[in-house]
Amino acid sequence: MSIKPQNVTVACGNYHSVVLLSNGTVRCWGDNKDNQCDPVHLTYTDVIQVVCGTWHSVALLSNGTIRCWGDNEYNQCDPLYHTLTDVIQVACSSFHSVALFSNGTIRCWGPNRWNQCDPVHLTFTDVIQVACGTYHSVVLLTNGTVRCWGDNDCNQCDPVHLTFTDVVQIDCGMDHSVALLSNGAVRCWGDNNDNQCDPVHLTFTNVIKVSCCKIHSVVL
């Protein structure tokens, strides 16, 4: 399997940033206390996606394998996961990661205190996108519905919001989740202490992309 990068992307952890260049290489700067900007990992030439956790970074290579570096306190960079193949997307939270395979299945690793890596939810066979919050995970299925598991302290996995049937993209902040619907509208649920799920912003009708940081959301 060989995949080509669609565009240049930037990912950020707590104190470091990673950029994927059009030639498939990566550049990283910022805090390197846990080797999250280790120059050893800046020699790849076939990267198609980069994502960051709090103190670790993950790269998806064009051959469907992944490379993780940085903090490994919770096995989020366990070399075991470098043996995965046929990966088409990866997502990171603060300390856990989720990989989506070409056959629509997923794999999750890292801490499981809030069941964010609960094996019960790793039986899906029709996933098309994955996203991670700090302690929760969200997947988008082929039928346009979403499934969520993990911490629900702020209703970020509220079943009320799992009834959508026309979702085309998902993303997660620290304790909130956002869904883009096929009609260009957005739905947001979870923590709203900083207005990251403010209903005022759920009136848009021509959105083409959603993105979340820890405590804020952005639409294009």
Domains and CATH numbers, the chain: 9-164 (2.130.10.30)
| Nearest CA among 107, 114, 85 for reference residue 174 | 114
pTM over 0.85: yes
Per the CB < 8 A criterion, the answer to whether 19 and 27 are in contact is: yes
| Nearest CA among 16, 162, 24, 163 for reference residue 92 | 16
pLDDT band at 160 (very low <50, low <70, confident <90, very high): confident
Assigned token pair, 220: 């294009």
Distance, CA of 190 to CA of 76 (rounded, Å): 25
Name the amino acid, one letter, at 196: Q
> Which pLDDT score is estimated for 119?
84
> Which pLDDT score is estimated for 88?
98
Residue range 55-109, pLDDT digits in tens: 999 999 999 999 999 999 999 998 888 999 999 999 999 899 999 999 999 999 9
Task: Report the 10 Å Cβ neighbour count for 126.
Answer: 13
Let me know how long the chain is: 220
Tell me the three state secondary structure of residue 129.
Answer: strand
Per the CB < 8 A criterion, the answer to whether 68 and 75 are in contact is: no
Residue range 3-58, pLDDT digits in tens: 554 457 899 999 999 999 989 999 999 999 999 998 887 899 999 999 999 999 99
